[in-house]
Amino acid sequence: MRTYTIFLKLAASLALSFFVLSVAYADSAIKRRLDLGLDINPAAENTLLLPSDVAVSNSYIYVVDGGHHRVVVFDQQGNYAFSFGSYGAGKGEFNSPVGIDVSEGGEVYVADTANKRIQVFSAAGKFVRLFKVKSGRYIIRPIDVLVDEKAREVYVSGNDNHKVMVFSSKGKLKREWGGNGTSEGEFRYPATLAHLKDGRVAVVDVLNARLQIFEKNGDYSIQISGWGVEPGQVFRPKGVAVDKDGDIYISDSYLNLVQVFSDVGKLKYILDTVAPRTLYTPVGMYVDAKNKLYITEMRKHRISVFSLNP
């Protein structure tokens, strides 16, 4: 009975919080309207199942289709092009992949989460190489992967050790930071990664409900946002992306919205889609060179693309 009472109180508290949220955001003067430019929601055999992340090259849109253990690729108009991968532990196979990134040279890096490794493919989806995500004596489940091609380094967020690990392009661990906790520089389930314009690294700290930013060597820089339901706060952050002006986009999978901050952490505006189109469980995001924002809506099994140009 006590457990049930606690549950009811928690449910009531959350209901009140979301009511406050709806009022706060409805009255917000810092909303920025977005018009849907492209809806990637394929049908039949090419349908997506619980997609988690998206990355874009000059030619293709790469989507992690975790429910089908593969990567699905579309052209710039949103038409299906090809897919690669299937369930398994062999080279080129996946087990519940989550994160993805494309290098400047066009190679595709995938966080093959349950197989505890990073796999690398050509732009056409041909297997190139892989490395296990090793931290000390342990092999870690990766959540996201971020490529720094100039430094020949690969950043990986770890689910088991609550750390950010930096590997050489061949998979040798060079440095790592973090650990399970709530203090500055610690994480509770770090997730999506992104580079800021000045080279710093942004890390979504999911259960701590914040975005932490670090220098390349792992030194703590600043925190953006914190837990809450008011504008500028986050409830369950999942994705991060950076546009050409250096603004930082944070998706919130519980509050079904994306907020935009300056690189010093000031809230600039809240993205507002045109009714009846609303975001639903936004997670991984990407902003391309043409200033288009790609948002992965996991439980809608689609990718929504919006133009950020005024």
For the ranges 58-67, 170-179, 220-229, 266-275, the lowest mean pLDDT is seen at 266-275
Q: What is the DSSP string of 192-251?
A: EEEE-TTS-EEEEETTTTEEEEE-TTS-EEEEE--BSSSTT-BSSEEEEEE-TT--EEEE
Q: What is the DSSP string of 99-121?
A: -EEE-TTS-EEEEETTTTEEEEE
Q: Which residue has the higher pLDDT, 21 or 290?
A: 290
Per-residue pLDDT, 29? 56
Residues 190-207 have pLDDT tens digits of 999 999 999 999 999 999
| pLDDT of 9 strictly over 70 | no
**Nearest by Cα to 257 from 74, 18, 10:** 18
Percentage of the chain beyond pLDDT 70 is 90
pTM (two decimals): 0.91
Q: Rounded to an integer, what distance in angstroms lies between the CA atom of residue 157 and that of residue 308?
A: 28
